[in-house]
Amino acid sequence: MNKENTVSRLPVMSGKRAHAVTSDGEHQQPAQKKMRKVDIDPAPRARPAATVVPKRMLPPKQAVTRPLRPTGAATVAAGPSQGLHRPPVASVPKAGATAISKGPKRPGWDLKGKVSDMEVKVQTYQSRVKSVNQENENLKDSISKIQKRESQMQEENVQLKKRLRECEEELSALCSMKKDLEMVSKERDDLQRELSNLSEQHKVLQGLRDNLESELCNVQSQLSVQTSALNRCQDSLRQSQETVSSLQETVAQQRDELHHGEMERRKLHNTIQELKGNIRVFCRVRPLLTEGKSEIPHIQLPAHDNKSLTLARVEESHTGRTVDTQKSYNFSFDRVFGPSARQQEVFEEISLLVQSALDGYNVCCFAYGQTGSGKTYTMEGGDLEDMRGVIPRAVQQIFKSAQALKEQGWQYTFTASFVEIYNETLRDLLYTGKSNKRPEHEIRKVSNNEITVTNLTYQKVSTEDEVCNLILLANQNRSTARTNMNDHSSRSHSVFQLDIDGENRDRDIKCK
């Protein structure tokens, strides 16, 4: 140091700062040099490979820039940067430089002193060049380390980017998987709900199935019972069918027999009627109409004979000299009905003839007698059931018998007519037209000795009521007048005619 103070000062080589020259010949800017010093990290710390550390930009240290003096040795960088161990530049103390530049000026003649100063300066500069070179080498090492580190970092960066892409891909895959998972979980929830519903339905259906199975068991047992019953029924049905077919045959035989029997009965019945007499005369004694008198003294009816009648009367003497004599007149009839005989008794005797009419025989029944003797009462009777006369009872029997004969295949049609003979003129009692347009009638004989009346109303009837209505109509049309013997004397002859047409189509038989 002392030497420095003693040596003459040499002028600086240049007023401008020379650019530092790197080992590869490139010029570096001063600021960059300062930054490089700051960033040097001689001992790179070990970091985890996966961690990306952003480049930490330290604030640039305030470079200490000393004003270059024409006589100054060189600028000296500020204190050492963090972590960078730089070899100290011992040979260039600050004080020395200042001493050099501010040393006492040697006189112009002191060439030796000046040379020695120059030599000191050269040595100083040489040592500074040396130190700068050393520093340069250090910096080169640092740069190479940094470059190596940078390449490592770049590789690491590439790896990390690659890893990042992979992670992003994984993340997107995971996101889609998450969405899928959410959907799947939602579907699972739905399916679980559906499963619970289906489970409930399953339980209900199981209950129903159990009920149905038990019902099925019952039905099957019933079915087996019914099947056995059905078999029994079928057996009995077969037997019944056989019985029915045999019975049908029997019925057919019996029908034949019945028909033959019926035909035989008709024959016999009518033979009997003929034997009894084709013309039969019955006598009916009317009761006395005056109250209190029940016996008729001049009519005697033998108790044990219902076919004879005796009229007794006292005959006065024509001369008056002899006593009155009791004379009796005996009459015999096919049947005598006394005053107490009821309508039913009279009809029973006639009903056999009504049966003959249904069998196809012509039957005529008429009442004859003086006025008030009871003809109309006997033939028509009164409204009460007990007082009904021969005609309504005969009609009732005819329709009943016709109905019964239907089963033997007989079909009957009935035609009614009612005619009045009054003063030898004919009147249609079933006429319903205007009275001034009444047609005239004649009795004519047509083929088969049939008697017919021209322009007469022949009314088809099919029920008993229809006939009764016709009789009422006829009674309204009939001429009546009061007589001494009868308040409602008919004053005429009336003929009720019922034509009966019978047909048995099965056996092709007709009767009229």
Ligand X SMILES: Nc1ncnc2c1ncn2[C@@H]1O[C@H](COP(=O)(O)OP(=O)(O)OP(=O)(O)O)[C@@H](O)[C@H]1O
The binding site for Mg ion (CB under 5 A) comprises 376, 490
**Any contact of residue 338 with ligand X (CB under 6 A)?**
no
DSSP-assigned beta bridge partners for residue 496: 418
Out of 42, 113, 287, 338, name the contact with ligand X by CB under 6 A.
Answer: 287
The annotation status of 261 as a binding-site residue, yes or no, is no
Is 370 annotated in a binding site? The answer is yes
Q: What are the tokens at 392?
A: 């309504």
376 is in an annotated binding site: yes
**In Å, what is the CA distance from 439 to each residue of 73, 426, 433, 461, 498?**
185, 10, 10, 23, 21
Q: List, in sequence order, every beta strand (DSSP E) within 429-486.
A: 443-445, 451-453, 459-461
Does position 286 interact with ligand X (CB under 6 A)? The reply is yes
Mapped onto helix, strand or coil, the DSSP state of residue 256 is helix
371 is in an annotated binding site: yes
Which is nearer to Mg ion, 356 or 490 (by Cβ)? 490
Among 139, 486, 496, 498, binds ligand X (CB under 6 A): 486
Pick the piece of the chain touching ligand X (CB under 6 A) from 358-366, 388-396, 428-436, 480-488: 480-488
What letters, b where the CB count within 10 A reaches 16 and e where it falls short, cover 218-228?
eeeeeeeeeee
Q: Which of 136, 138, 373, 475 binds ligand X (CB under 6 A)?
A: 373
**Which lies closer to ligand X via its Cβ, residue 380 or residue 428?**
380
Which partner from the list ligand X, Mg ion, none does 104 bind, CB cut-off 5 to 8 Å by kind? none
**Which amino acid, one-letter code, is at 503?**
E
- Token pair for residue 125? 């500069």
- Cα angle for residues 439, 445, 449 (degrees, 5° grid): 145
**Binding piece for ligand X, criterion CB under 6 A, among 97-105, 234-242, 465-473, 482-490:** 482-490
Q: Which does 372 bind (CB under 5 to 8 A by kind): Mg ion, ligand X, none?
A: ligand X
Minimum separation from the CB atom of position 457 to ligand X (A):
23
Task: Assess 342 for contact with ligand X (CB under 6 A).
Answer: no
Restricting to residues 416-475, name those near ligand X by CB under 6 A: none
Size of the site for ligand X (CB under 6 A): 16
Does position 376 interact with ligand X (CB under 6 A)? The reply is yes
The residue count of the chain comes to: 512
Closer residue to ligand X, CB minimum distance, 34 or 381: 381
| Binding partner of residue 483 among ligand X, Mg ion, none, CB cut-off 5 to 8 Å per kind | ligand X
Element (H, E) at 36: helix 30-39
Residue tagged 């060049």 (tokens): 129
Q: Which does 165 bind (CB under 5 to 8 A by kind): ligand X, Mg ion, none?
A: none
Q: If phi over 0 gives left and psi between -120 and 50 gives alpha, with beta otherwise, what is residue 211?
A: alpha
For the record, the structure tokens of 396 come out as: 């009732």
User: Amino acid identity, residue 367?
Assistant: A
Is 433 assigned a ligand-binding role in the annotation?
no
* Strand 410-422 versus strand 459-461 pairing type: antiparallel
Q: Is 369 annotated among the ligand-binding residues?
A: yes
Q: How far is the CB of 247 from ligand X (least distance, A)?
A: 51
Query: Which does residue 373 touch among Mg ion, ligand X, none (CB within 5 to 8 A, set by kind)?
Result: ligand X
Which CB atom, from 73 or from 390, has the smaller least distance to ligand X? 390
Report, in Å, the least distance between residue 383 CB and ligand X.
12
Residue selected from 103, 338, 360, 372 as contacting ligand X according to rule CB under 6 A: 372
Element (H, E) at 62: none
Please name the residues in contact with 468: beta carbons below 8 A apart, sequence gap of 6 or more. 392, 395
- For 129-156, b/e burial (b = at least 16 CB within 10 A) is eebbeebbebbeebbeebeeeeeebeeb
Task: Choose the stretch contacting ligand X; rule: CB under 6 A; options: 10-18, 54-62, 123-131, 488-496.
Answer: 488-496
The reply to whether 372 sits in an annotated binding site is: yes
- Least separation, in Å, of the C-beta of 481 and ligand X? 8
Q: Which class for 456: exposed (0-12), middle (13-18), buried (19 or more C-beta within 10 A)?
A: buried
Cα of first residue to Cα of last residue in the chain, in angstroms, is: 190
The whole-angstrom distance between residue 300's C-alpha and the CA centroid of its chain comes to 90
- Residues 28-57, mask of contacts with ligand X (x by CB under 6 A): ------------------------------
The distance of closest approach from Cβ of residue 370 to Mg ion in the complex, given in angstroms and rounded to an integer, is 10
Instruction: Give the interface segment with ligand X, choosing from 203-211, 237-245, 286-294, 407-415 (CB under 6 A).
Output: 286-294
HSE (side-chain half, CA atoms, 13 Å) at 20: 20
Within 10 Å of residue 426's Cβ, how many Cβ atoms? 18
Counting contacts by CB under 6 A, is residue 377 touching ligand X?
yes
Closest by CA position to 361, among listed 435, 423, 274: 274
- Give the one residue of 308, 396, 483, 497 binding ligand X; rule: CB under 6 A: 483
Lay out the site mask for ligand X across 219-258 (x = CB under 6 A, - = otherwise): ----------------------------------------
CB of 339 to ligand X, least distance (A): 7
**Shortest separation between residue 318's beta carbon and Mg ion, angstroms:** 37
* Euclidean distance between CA atoms 224 and 140, whole angstroms: 114
What pairs with residue 511 in β-bridges? 502
Annotated binding site: 369-376
Residues that bind ligand X (CB under 6 A): 286-287, 289, 369, 371-377, 483, 486, 488-490
Annotated binding site for ATP: 369-376
